[in-house]
Amino acid sequence: MTRVVALPGDGIGPEIMPAALEVLGAMVSVDVEEHLFGGASIDAYGTALTDEVLAGAAKADAVLLAAVGGPKWDTTDAAKPRPEQGLLGLRKGLGLFANLRPVRALPALHSASPLREERIAGTDLLVVRELTGGIYFGAKTRTATSASDLCAYSTEEVERIARVAFAAARTRVTSVDKANVLETSRLWREVVTRVQAEEFPAVELEHVLVDNAAMQLVSRPSRFDVILTENMFGDILSDEAAMITGSIGMLPSASLGAGGPGVFEPVHGSAPDITGQGIANPLAMFLSVGLLLRHGLHLEAEARAVESAVDRALAGGLRTHDLGGDATTAQATAAVLAQL
């Protein structure tokens, strides 16, 4: 039996997780093990990620995560636990170094994007973000009058994420850095260039500074195939790219390592402003189920079926509140299940 660990987390997480498990269950028979995570785990155990949950996740075939965080746990006190520490701990503990965030501009949602249709039409890109290095994981210091965060990368870390990006590319990899300023970016650029020349000569490579990449994402996003970048830049650029789809509620992600289970989660947050109202958009969660089927369970046909069901539901007029409609979470779930 396929074993999936489900981490509903906080905010709208417990509302969209049951819907996602219903979609997953319609495609494959799974044994689901649910755990507290993030803020909910802090309330219960004083930590965002317990050793038990990490051990359970490590033994699973895949991990499905909904959302973490909220105002209740916001703090600037370094001694207090934060829900986001659970995410970082899970990624580090499972060795998940590659974050894949696909972005498609669906014709049915062109009008929902703040960008003009002629700018976004045809966009089908993949952001490949390095997930366990960089400034998020570097040494941190704090005094009464100053603070620092170390950004560090090794050659090995850059090599392995570059290979993921080149393997996923159809024609071109756009490597994003800040090599005109940062020494880590200069190393990044040198290593990516070498990996392409030695291992993927058929794939075109271009280097773009992160500020230029941010501009091009909104001016002509369809030019991108695969965007390869480090941890913080990838975090920011993938959220910016969400606007191409019309809502951050449409973006799934997969976090993968060299072996063992991956973590599959929507890019959006816990949305505390709509928690408990039953109106959260579950579509990014469903698309994350699609990525789980593809990358976690290696079921390509089933993954395509889920993605197609979401596309057809939208083409049929489904619109949740964030997309300018009034469909509830339950109605959106029913519409996708009807297409399946």
Residue 257 is inside which H or E element, if any?
strand 252-257
Question: Exposure of 117 by Cβ count < 10 A (0-12 exposed, 13-18 middle, 19+ buried)?
Answer: exposed
Asked if residues 223 and 215 have their Cβ atoms less than 8 Å apart, the reply is no
Residues in the chain: 340
Alpha-carbon span 273 to 282, nearest angstrom: 16
Helix or strand or coil: residue 46?
A: coil
User: Active-site residue numbers?
Assistant: 136, 178, 211, 235, 239
Cα 272 to Cα 36, 57, 94, 189, 320, distances in angstroms: 17, 26, 28, 39, 17
Alpha-carbon span 56 to 216, nearest angstrom: 42
